């Protein structure tokens, strides 16, 4: 009886935990679906010229004595007054950031930022994307790349800056840029496709556990985690990977025809210096260096679309995101998700 009582308590705790998780997930799903179709975010615009000017003035105020600083400010005021009398229309540079995870979650903000800038940008302007991504799911990065293609289609120059990494799906985004700039030790390339999953069928058989997989359609399921995989299923799965890889290669070749695609589409990665020799990039330079140069002759505007969420939404989404990360990471390792 004591064993049954302890088991009942354990079962009650387990059921309670499962119900709590389901409630959190259901709440988060309801909150997300409630906001769909109704943008609740806000576009934040920061003038980077003012930011760079502030850095310089702060340094000047600390290094120069009072007389030197006064003379410098007087000279700067005269220059500003002269500019106002003869205003010069400078080109605009719209600066975007993309910090990619495995699901390319930053695409949600990127799409709104691009929609906003395309309402004003002209071929005389420029878009600079500071990109950091090691790649992820095929369909997610396919959508992110399609958003960048809108800029090219509108005839607005697109420059992609990579300071750390743009590999796999990240490089698929980068290749859309008319100019790709990379730091000397940034990681680039990985033009390939990978999918992996364990199979525990033999373990189940060892313990006399049957697992049935029922499908309608010859290739509805090729490789499985629990079922018994066949050679025919393996061949079909590999065929799907090869098709995806070919699409990836064709996409990169379309935007960077100067590449010897069969030499670089091996799944390998290269550091910036070697990537320049392979024509994966056009110039070695950090994003800071490039933007500081452009600030001398253009108006730089940093765009960031931020979602506005209530306290209830923030609590619900934070809880669901934590659970979702655990589930997605575990499931991705067990299923046949394809990754750039």
Contact criterion met (CB below 8 Å) for 156 and 114: no
For residue 53, which phi and psi values (nearest 5 degrees)?
-65, -40
- Which helix (H) or strand (E) segment holds residue 180: the answer is strand 179-182
123 three-state secondary structure: coil
Q: Show the tokens assigned to 328.
A: 């997605």
Contact criterion met (CB below 8 Å) for 48 and 293: no
Residues 6 or more apart in contact with residue 267 via CB below 8 angstroms = 190, 191, 192, 194
Contact criterion met (CB below 8 Å) for 132 and 101: no
168 three-state secondary structure: coil
Q: Show the tokens assigned to 230.
A: 């066949």
Q: Show the tokens assigned to 26.
A: 């259901």
Query: What residue spans of the chain are helical by DSSP H?
Result: 2-35, 48-63, 66-85, 107-118, 138-153, 169-174, 201-206, 231-255, 261-264, 272-277, 287-295, 311-334
Q: How far is CA 143 from CA 12, 43, 137, 171, 222, in A?
A: 44, 21, 10, 14, 26
Length of the chain, in residues: 340
- Measure the CA–CA gap between 110 and 123, rounded to whole angstroms: 20
Could you give the residue numbers annotated as active site? 168, 220
Residues 6 or more apart in contact with residue 309 via CB below 8 angstroms = 40, 317
């Amino acid at each position: 009886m004591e064993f049954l009582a302890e088991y009942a308590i354990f079962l009650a705790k387990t059921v309670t935990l499962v119900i709590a998780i389901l409630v959190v997930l259901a709440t988060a799903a309801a909150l997300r679906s409630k906001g769909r179709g109704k943008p609740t975010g806000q576009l934040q615009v920061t003038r980077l010229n003012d930011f760079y000017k502030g850095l310089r003035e702060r340094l000047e105020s600390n290094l120069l004595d009072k007389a030197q600083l006064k003379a410098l400010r007087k000279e700067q005021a005269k220059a500003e007054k002269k500019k106002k009398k003869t205003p010069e229309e400078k080109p605009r540079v719209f600066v975007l950031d993309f910090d990619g995870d495995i699901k390319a979650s930053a695409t949600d903000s990127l799409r709104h930022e691009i929609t906003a800038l395309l309402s004003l940008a002209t071929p005389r302007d420029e878009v600079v994307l500071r990109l950091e991504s090691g790649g992820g799911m095929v369909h997610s990065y396919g959508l992110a790349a399609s958003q960048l293609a809108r800029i090219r289609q509108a005839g607005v120059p697109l420059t992609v800056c990579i300071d750390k990494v743009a590999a796999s799906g990240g490089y698929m985004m980068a290749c859309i840029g008319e100019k790709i700039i990379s730091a000397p030790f940034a990681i680039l390339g990985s033009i390939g496709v990978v999918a992996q999953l364990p199979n525990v069928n033999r373990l189940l058989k060892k313990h006399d556990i049957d697992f049935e997989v029922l499908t309608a359609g010859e290739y509805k399921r090729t490789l499985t985690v629990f079922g018994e995989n066949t050679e025919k299923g393996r061949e079909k799965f590999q065929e799907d990977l090869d098709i995806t890889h070919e699409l990836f290669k064709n996409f990169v070749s379309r935007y960077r025809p100067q590449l010897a695609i069969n030499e670089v589409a091996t799944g390998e990665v290269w550091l910036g210096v070697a990537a320049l020799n392979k024509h994966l990039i056009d110039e070695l330079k950090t994003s800071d260096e490039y933007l500081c140069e452009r600030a001398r002759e253009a108006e730089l505007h940093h765009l960031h679309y931020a979602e506005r969420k209530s306290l209830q939404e923030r609590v619900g989404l934070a809880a669901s995101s934590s659970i979702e990360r655990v589930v997605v990471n575990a499931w991705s390792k067990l299923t046949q998700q394809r990754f750039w």
